[in-house]
Amino acid sequence: MLNKYPLWKNLVILVALVIGFIYALPNLFPDDYAIQITGARSSTEVSSGLLERAVDVLESQGIEVKSSALQDRDALIRLTNSEDQLQARPLVQSALGKDFLVALNMAASTPGWLKSLGAGPMKLGLDLRGGVHFLLEVDMETAVGQRLEAMSGQIKRELREERIRYRGGDVQDNREVVLSFRDQASRTEAFNLVRDQYNEFLLDEQTEGDEFLLVLTLSETEVASIKDYALDQNLTTIRNRVNELGVAEPLVQQQGNDRIIVELPGVQDTAQAKRVLGATANLEFRMEARQDTASSETEAFGFRDQPQRTARLEQAVIATGNNVANAQQAFDENGQPQVNITMDSVGGDLMNRATRNAIGRRMAVLFIEYRTETETRMVDGEPQDIENRVVEKGIISLATVQSALGSSFRITGLDSIPEAAELALLLRAGALAAPMYFVQERTIGPSLGEKNIDAGIMSVALGFGLVLLYMLVYYRGFGVVANIALTLNLMLLVACMSILSATLTLPGIAGIVLTVGMAVDANVLIFERIKEELRSGVPPQTAINSGYSRAFVSIFDANITTLLVAVILFAMGSGPVKGFAVTLCIGILTSMFTGLMVSRSVVNLVYGGRRVEKLSIGGKLANV
Over the stretch 368-422, which tens digit does the pLDDT of each residue have? Answer: 876 666 666 777 777 776 767 677 888 877 878 878 887 887 777 666 777 777 6
Per-residue pLDDT at 155:
85
CA angle (42 as vertex; 35, 411 as ends), nearest 5:
165
Angle at 507 between CA 501 and CA 511, to 5 degrees: 80
Taking only the tens place, the pLDDT of each residue in 495-515 is 998 898 777 878 888 888 888
Q: What is the CATH number of the domain that holds 535?
A: 1.20.1640.10
Least confident of 278-287, 345-354, 449-458, 615-624: 615-624
- Please state the separation of Cα 42 from the chain's center in Å: 18
DSSP bridge partners of 391:
370
Domain containing 38 — which CATH number?
3.30.70.260
Q: What are phi and psi of 3, to 5 degrees?
A: 55, 45
Query: Which residues neighbour 339 within 8 Å (Cβ) at sequence distance 6 or greater?
Result: 327, 328, 329, 330, 410, 411, 414, 420, 423, 424, 427
Average pLDDT over residues 231-244: 79
Give the C-alpha separation, 171 to 179, whole Å: 9
21, pLDDT greater than 90: yes
pLDDT at residue 124, rounded to an integer: 76
Nearest CA among 201, 224, 90, 106 for reference residue 152: 201
pLDDT at 624 over 50: no
Considering the domain boundaries, does residue 258 fall inside one? no
* Same domain as 84, residue 197: no
Domain limits for position 344: 280-415+427-434
* Residue 623 within any structural domain of the chain: no
For residues 100 and 19, state if they share a domain: no
Classify residue 450: in a domain, yes or no: yes
Which ranges constitute the DSSP H helices of 500-539? 506-519, 521-535
Residue 252 falls within a domain, yes or no?
no
Strands (E), 152-200: 168-172, 176-181
Averaged pLDDT for residues 520-548 = 86
Which of 62, 83, 107 is the C-terminal boundary of a domain? 107
pLDDT digits (tens, 9 = 90+) for 140-178: 988 888 788 878 877 887 888 788 888 777 787 778 888
Residue 178 sits in a domain of what CATH number? Answer: 3.30.70
The burial class, CB within 10 Å (0-12 / 13-18 / 19+), for 144 is buried
Of 107, 133, 165, the last residue of a domain is 107
What's the mean pLDDT when you consider all of the chain? 82
Q: What pLDDT is recorded for position 571? A: 84
Domain end call among 364, 399, 434: 434
For residue 193, pLDDT beyond 60: yes
Helix (H, G, I), strand (E, B) or coil at 419: helix
Are 477 and 493 part of one and the same domain?
A: yes
On whether both 459 and 595 belong to a single domain, the answer is yes
Q: Mind listing the pLDDT tens digit for each residue in 465-481?
A: 888 898 888 888 888 88
Assigned domain for 147 exists: yes
Which domain CATH number covers 326? 3.30.1360.200
Q: Which residue has the higher pLDDT, 306 or 280?
A: 306
For residues 465 and 599, membership in a common domain is answered with yes
Tens digits of per-residue pLDDT, 204-216? 898 888 888 888 9
- List pLDDT tens digits, range 572-600: 876 678 778 888 899 999 988 998 899 88
Q: What is the dihedral of CA 455, 459, 465, 468, to 10 degrees?
A: -150
Is residue 468 situated within a structural domain?
yes
Q: Give yes or no: residues 503 and 386 share one domain.
A: no
Whether residue 216 sits in one domain with residue 75: no
Q: Is the confidence at residue 249, as pLDDT, over 80? A: no
Between CA 319 and CA 346 the distance in angstroms is: 9
Q: Report the alpha-carbon distance of residue 109 to residue 112 in Å, rounded.
A: 9
> Based on the domain organization, do 516 and 387 belong to the same domain?
no
Judgement on whether residues 524 and 402 belong to the same structural domain of the protein: no
Q: Do 285 and 388 fall within a single domain?
A: yes
Domain membership flag for residue 128: no
Mean local confidence (pLDDT), 96-116: 82
What domain count does the chain have?
A: 4
Instruction: Please give the pLDDT value at position 505.
Output: 79
The residues, any chain, with a CB within 8 Å of residue 506's CB and separated by 6 or more, are 125, 127, 128, 452, 456, 576, 579
Q: Residues of the chain with pLDDT > 90: what percent?
A: 10
Residue 263 lies in a domain: no
pLDDT band at 458 (very low <50, low <70, confident <90, very high): confident
Residues 191 and 97 reside in one and the same domain = no
Using the predicted structure, report yes or no on whether residue 529 has a pLDDT greater than 90.
no
Domain match, 511 and 383 both: no
